[in-house]
Protein backbone atom coordinates (compact mmCIF):
# COMPACT_ATOMS: atom_id res chain seq x y z
CA UNK A 1 0.00 0.00 0.00
CA UNK A 2 1.21 3.49 -0.84
CA UNK A 3 2.27 5.48 2.20
CA UNK A 4 3.98 8.62 0.98
CA UNK A 5 1.94 11.38 -0.66
CA UNK A 6 3.92 10.89 -3.86
CA UNK A 7 3.14 7.17 -3.98
CA UNK A 8 -0.54 7.85 -3.26
CA UNK A 9 -0.68 10.32 -6.13
CA UNK A 10 1.02 7.86 -8.47
CA UNK A 11 -1.54 5.21 -7.49
CA UNK A 12 -4.39 7.62 -8.35
CA UNK A 13 -2.77 8.52 -11.67
CA UNK A 14 -2.21 4.86 -12.52
CA UNK A 15 -5.89 4.09 -11.93
CA UNK A 16 -6.94 6.89 -14.27
CA UNK A 17 -4.46 5.91 -16.99
CA UNK A 18 -5.52 2.26 -16.67
CA UNK A 19 -9.15 3.22 -17.31
CA UNK A 20 -8.26 5.38 -20.31
CA UNK A 21 -5.95 2.76 -21.83
CA UNK A 22 -8.51 0.01 -21.24
CA UNK A 23 -11.18 2.00 -23.09
CA UNK A 24 -8.78 2.75 -25.92
CA UNK A 25 -7.76 -0.93 -26.24
CA UNK A 26 -11.41 -1.97 -26.25
CA UNK A 27 -12.19 0.55 -29.01
CA UNK A 28 -9.29 -0.78 -31.11
CA UNK A 29 -10.47 -4.36 -30.62
CA UNK A 30 -13.96 -3.35 -31.77
CA UNK A 31 -12.57 -1.95 -35.01
CA UNK A 32 -10.47 -5.07 -35.52
CA UNK A 33 -13.53 -7.26 -34.94
CA UNK A 34 -15.45 -5.28 -37.58
CA UNK A 35 -12.67 -5.97 -40.08
CA UNK A 36 -12.66 -9.68 -39.18
CA UNK A 37 -16.43 -9.88 -39.64
CA UNK A 38 -16.21 -8.06 -42.97
CA UNK A 39 -13.55 -10.53 -44.14
CA UNK A 40 -15.82 -13.42 -43.12
CA UNK A 41 -18.63 -12.08 -45.31
CA UNK A 42 -16.36 -12.31 -48.34
CA UNK A 43 -17.19 -8.84 -49.69
CA UNK A 44 -13.89 -7.13 -50.49
CA UNK A 45 -15.31 -3.59 -50.72
CA UNK A 46 -16.86 -3.82 -47.25
CA UNK A 47 -13.71 -5.40 -45.82
CA UNK A 48 -11.41 -2.76 -47.29
CA UNK A 49 -13.69 0.00 -45.99
CA UNK A 50 -13.59 -1.53 -42.51
CA UNK A 51 -9.81 -1.80 -42.76
CA UNK A 52 -9.53 1.87 -43.74
CA UNK A 53 -11.61 2.79 -40.69
CA UNK A 54 -9.52 0.62 -38.39
CA UNK A 55 -6.13 1.90 -39.56
CA UNK A 56 -6.26 5.35 -37.88
CA UNK A 57 -7.48 3.77 -34.64
CA UNK A 58 -4.55 1.37 -34.63
CA UNK A 59 -2.08 4.17 -35.35
CA UNK A 60 -3.63 6.26 -32.60
CA UNK A 61 -3.05 3.35 -30.25
CA UNK A 62 0.64 3.53 -31.12
CA UNK A 63 0.93 7.28 -30.54
CA UNK A 64 -0.90 7.00 -27.22
CA UNK A 65 1.37 4.20 -26.06
CA UNK A 66 -1.29 1.49 -25.84
CA UNK A 67 0.23 -0.72 -28.54
CA UNK A 68 3.74 -1.19 -29.89
CA UNK A 69 4.34 0.07 -33.43
CA UNK A 70 5.59 -3.31 -34.66
CA UNK A 71 2.47 -5.01 -33.29
CA UNK A 72 0.26 -2.62 -35.23
CA UNK A 73 2.39 -2.98 -38.36
CA UNK A 74 2.06 -6.76 -38.15
CA UNK A 75 -1.71 -6.61 -37.63
CA UNK A 76 -2.20 -4.16 -40.50
CA UNK A 77 -0.03 -6.25 -42.81
CA UNK A 78 -1.87 -9.47 -42.05
CA UNK A 79 -5.30 -7.90 -42.27
CA UNK A 80 -4.57 -6.14 -45.56
CA UNK A 81 -3.19 -9.38 -47.01
CA UNK A 82 -6.38 -11.19 -46.03
CA UNK A 83 -8.56 -8.42 -47.50
CA UNK A 84 -6.59 -8.48 -50.76
CA UNK A 85 -6.90 -12.26 -50.91
CA UNK A 86 -10.70 -11.97 -51.02
CA UNK A 87 -10.67 -10.41 -54.49
Tell me what pLDDT residue 2 has.
81
- pLDDT at residue number 23: 98
Per-residue confidence in pLDDT tens, the chain, 87 aa: 789 999 999 999 999 999 999 999 999 999 999 999 999 999 999 999 999 999 999 999 999 999 999 999 999 999 999 999 997
What pLDDT is attached to residue 1?
Answer: 78
Q: What is the pLDDT of residue 87?
A: 75
Q: Which residues touch 72 (CB under 8 Å, ≥6 apart)?
A: 58, 59, 61, 62
Show the domains of the chain with their CATH numbers.
5-86 (1.20.58.110)
| C-beta separation of 24 from 16 below 8 A | no
Asked if residue 34 lies in contact with residue 50, where contact means CB atoms within 8 angstroms, the answer is: yes
Amino acid sequence: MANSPQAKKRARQNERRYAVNKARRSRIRTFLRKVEEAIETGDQSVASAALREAQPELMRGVTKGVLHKNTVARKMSRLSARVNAIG
